[in-house]
Structure 1
């Protein structure tokens, strides 16, 4: 019998300590993902934790920073896989596909940070690899997205003042538009955490 795996992507302290965290659409992302984790464990599904790392960079994603750890409220249970990646998607620089194959997984459920970046890219690659993909947009988080011409060191105020900036809500909506029906099925937290009614 094929299994389902919940893939929890980059819900890590690295994001929370950056200035643009104040632009995040779901500051309660740990609680949102935690509901999916609890439901997955209850269903006997696989739970896989992914952390983004950029070793040697001196950034908040450098393991030496101490910030490459799950946000408070989330913790891997005994036996659950915790993998680290250096690419945007969770497949290319990890053994994720091997883990899924070994456990007979046919469907993955994607949640995490950021909606349009690591979550979307993982969903696309997963779909191309043949997995059915459920994308739980409301259990992903992202921030307002500046225009490509905005300097990398722009302040939060400068980002918000630019009329070309996309709000986090707009980014999430556009992500659903490009993924739904092509790469994923959009699901809600309530759908995936509902307790089945005995027949």
Structure 2
């Protein structure tokens, strides 16, 4: 982990994004990174021990047929990712967790200047949230091995496997918007503080 990321953790907040059951239902399809859940649970446990701010994000789709609609069982958090009673929850209906929510206001009131993001999916809500966070002036860390995404079909009908989608999006984030780190590096840094 770089010096910038290490120095930034003193005023950082962790934001798990859309770690919901709905992504296990059709039509989402084949995903990558089967270690996402284990890595995410390790991050949450370690972060909670530090007492730093933690704000959960849940996608509440406005589309009635969506697996993330509040009436669907898929709207629930995955096991081990439920907010604790004293942990705030921000709900959104678009990709970026900052759009149509009070997330920015909450972070500013907490004195946060760095956000640590992970969740589902790498290329959609995690990436979009990271980009907006960077544009708002936050330092952004994306824990790449605590995210996953799905196979996609391009405009010409060709399938792009989820690993390729993930690598491309993490590379784009790393080039311009965020520092991409792995779970172990972040845990090591937390233990060193």
TM-score greater than 0.5 by the shorter chain: yes
Report if the CA contact (8 A) 2:118-2:142 is conserved: yes
TM-score (normalizing by structure 1): 0.85
* Counterpart Cα distance in 2 of 1:47 and 1:30: 17
The 5 Å alignment of 1:102-181 reads 102-150=109-157, 164-181=158-175
In structure 1, stretches of 5+ residues that fail to align are 151-163
Q: Find out whether 1:13 has 2:13 as its counterpart.
A: no
In structure 2, stretches of 5+ residues that fail to align are 1-8
Q: Deviations over 1:109-149 (max 9, x none)?
A: 11000101100000000000000000111110101111235
Three-state SS of the structure 2 residue aligned to 1:59 is coil
* Counterpart Cα distance in 2 of 1:17 and 1:27: 16
Q: Find out whether 1:27 has 2:34 as its counterpart.
A: yes
The offset of 1:181, in angstroms, is 3.5
* Counterpart Cα distance in 2 of 1:82 and 1:109: 16
Q: Which residue of 1 aligns with 2:4?
A: none
Q: Deviations over 1:52-73 (max 9, x none)?
A: 1123523212111132111012
User: Considering only aligned residues, what root-mean-square deviation do their CA atoms show, in Å?
Assistant: 1.9
The number of residue pairs the alignment matches comes to 184
The structure richer in helix per residue is: 2
The offset of 1:43, in angstroms, is 1.8
